[in-house]
């Protein structure tokens, strides 16, 4: 199920556990609180956060692989879909940036793909269309999680001179 011309989609039920595990690897401090349910065109996963409950419902987190941030959204999953995506598509999924991507010749990501940053913002990449490419969502999250683990302990502004990626395989 997709929204906003492909800018946001729900995970298939059989893929929820896999996508949640990718997010847990990238965000270990909140791993036990999150369950991913959807993803936007930039590969940002949306998850319910059992550590933040209002009115009996877990609130939504946006897990941003390009910046390494987990942003709190003050809505339940239902209200996120019924209100935030409908009334605030810019805030929810950077909709004008998506339209700029499409206008510049970028394509609609298919299921299992996203438009990821070639150079992540947390490694000095620019938040511009020229720094974007369609990539496999699993690969993007796997690599980003490894990079985040290596740089999170560094003070802000630390120059990264080298990175290493451990062995992994696609199945």
Q: What is the mean pLDDT of the chain?
A: 91
Alpha-carbon distance of 99 to 108, in angstroms, equals 10
pLDDT band at residue 169, thresholds of 50, 70 and 90? very low
CA distances, 156 to each of 41, 65, 127, 160 (Å): 27, 17, 18, 11
Q: Which residues pair with 73 in a beta bridge?
A: 60
Which carries the bigger pLDDT value, residue 64 or residue 162? 64
Higher pLDDT, 170 or 45: 45
Please name which of 27, 18, 63, 19 lies closest in space to residue 42, comparing C-alpha atoms: 63
Among all chains, which residue has been given the structure tokens 């996120």?
Answer: 80
pTM for the full predicted model: 0.89
Residue 170, pLDDT score: 38
User: Is pLDDT at 164 greater than 70 in this prediction?
Assistant: no
**% of the chain with per-residue pLDDT over 70:** 89
Query: In this structure, what is the dihedral angle of CA atoms 70, 73, 75, 80, given to the nearest 10 degrees?
Result: -90
User: Would the pLDDT of 17 be above 60?
Assistant: yes
For the segment 20-45, the average pLDDT, to the nearest whole number, is: 96
Q: What is the pLDDT of residues 62-108, one digit of tens each?
A: 999 988 899 999 999 999 999 999 999 999 999 999 999 999 999 99
The yes-or-no verdict on residue 167 having pLDDT over 70 is no
For 43-63, what is each residue's pLDDT tens digit? Answer: 999 999 999 999 999 999 999
Given a contact cutoff of 8 angstroms between Cβ atoms, the answer to whether 47 and 36 are in contact is: yes
Retrieve residue 139's tokens: 């690969």
The separation between the first and the last C-alpha atoms of the chain, rounded to the nearest angstrom, is 24
pLDDT at 166: 58
For residue 51, count other CB atoms closer than 10 A to its CB: 12
Per-residue tokens: 47? 């998850």
**Contact status, residue 140 vs residue 168, Cβ threshold 8 Å:** no
29, two tokens: 């401090």
Structure confidence at residue 86 (pLDDT): 95
| pLDDT for the residue numbered 121 | 87
Q: d(Cα 171, Cα 161) in Å, to the nearest integer?
A: 31
């Amino acid at each position: 199920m997709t929204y906003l011309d492909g800018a946001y989609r729900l995970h298939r039920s059989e893929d929820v556990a896999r996508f949640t595990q990718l997010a847990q690897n990238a965000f270990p401090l909140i791993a036990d609180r999150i369950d991913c349910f959807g993803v936007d065109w930039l590969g940002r996963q949306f998850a319910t956060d059992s550590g933040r409950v209002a009115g009996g419902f877990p609130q939504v987190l946006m897990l941003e692989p390009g910046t390494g941030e987990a942003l709190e959204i003050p809505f339940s999953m239902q209200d996120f879909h019924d209100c935030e995506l409908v009334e605030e598509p810019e805030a929810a999924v950077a909709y004008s940036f998506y339209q700029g991507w499409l206008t510049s010749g970028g394509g609609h990501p298919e299921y299992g793909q996203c438009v990821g940053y070639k150079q992540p913002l947390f490694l000095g990449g620019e938040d511009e269309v020229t720094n974007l490419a369609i990539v496999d969502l699993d690969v993007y999250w796997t690599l980003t999680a490894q990079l985040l683990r290596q740089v999170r302990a560094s003070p802000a502004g630390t120059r990264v001179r080298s990175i290493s990626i451990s062995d992994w395989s696609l199945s």
